[in-house]
Amino acid sequence: MEKIISSQIQESIEVKNNIPIKDVAEAAGMLIDAYRQRKKVLICGNGGSAADAQHMAGELVGRFKMERGALGAIALTTDTSILTAVGNDYGFDDVFSRQVEALAESGDIVIGISTSGNSPNVLKGIAKAKEKWAVTIGLTGGDGGKLKDLADVCIVVPSANTPRIQESHITIIHIICLLVEQSLFGGK
């Protein structure tokens, strides 16, 4: 059992050591620029990625590591009335694009999280964001899927193993939140 635990930890470390740092920095810079222009961030994903979307919105609206003013962020995964109404009336593929259509404005950031990069509702949400002149960021894994070519910047975790991709996504989200706080509010 201990050997399995150790190998899982080592695999996670190896994947994280190969996260594309330049893309993470570019995404963080996009959020910093948007917040300086009083824009907001909309985040979507399914399953574990939905939880990551909510986690990121919570870090931005509440706080990550420092006491500071709230930052505008909305997880598009949390309003069950919207999700079920749109899912029922239009189809599950439209649950994020419909919210992006309603909420996104030019210059806002829309982040799509999909371990495969091929989640239809995330892809439609990102496509709708581009129509609304929002800036788009993808978090994915493997070969990046369709999201890699659709988003303005796509952080592709170099793994085909979903748990390692998800672990890396939360690390990336925490790093972005740290960079946003330090850039906008000072600190060490």
List pLDDT tens digits, range 8-27: 999 999 999 999 999 999 99
Residues 99-108, mean pLDDT to the nearest whole number: 98
Q: Are residues 139 and 112 in contact, defined by beta-carbon separation less than 8 angstroms?
A: yes
- Can you give the three-state secondary structure of the chain, one letter per residue? CHHHHHHHHHHHHHHHCCCCHHHHHHHHHHHHHHHHCCCCEEEEECCHHHHHHHHHHHHHHCCCCCCCCCCCEEECCCCHHHHHHHHHHCCHHHHHHHHHHHHCCCCCEEEEECCCCCCHHHHHHHHHHHHCCCEEEEEEECCCCCHHHHCCEEEEECCCCHHHHHHHHHHHHHHHHHHHHHHHHCCC
Task: Sort residue 114 into left (φ over 0), alpha (ψ -120 to 50) or beta.
Answer: beta
Q: Give pLDDT, residue 77.
A: 97
CATH domain 2-185 topology: Rossmann fold (3.40.50)
Q: Give pLDDT, residue 51.
A: 97
Work out the mean pLDDT of the chain and round it to a whole number: 97
List CB contacts of 140: < 8 A, sequence separation 6 or more: 113, 114, 115, 116, 117, 147, 148, 154, 155, 156, 157, 165
pTM: 0.96
What is the token pair recorded at 144?
A: 């990046």
Task: Return the domain boundaries, the chain.
Answer: 2-185
Q: Give pLDDT, residue 187.
A: 63
What is the token pair recorded at 119?
A: 């989640």
List pLDDT tens digits, range 111-161: 999 999 999 999 999 999 999 999 999 999 999 999 999 999 999 999 999
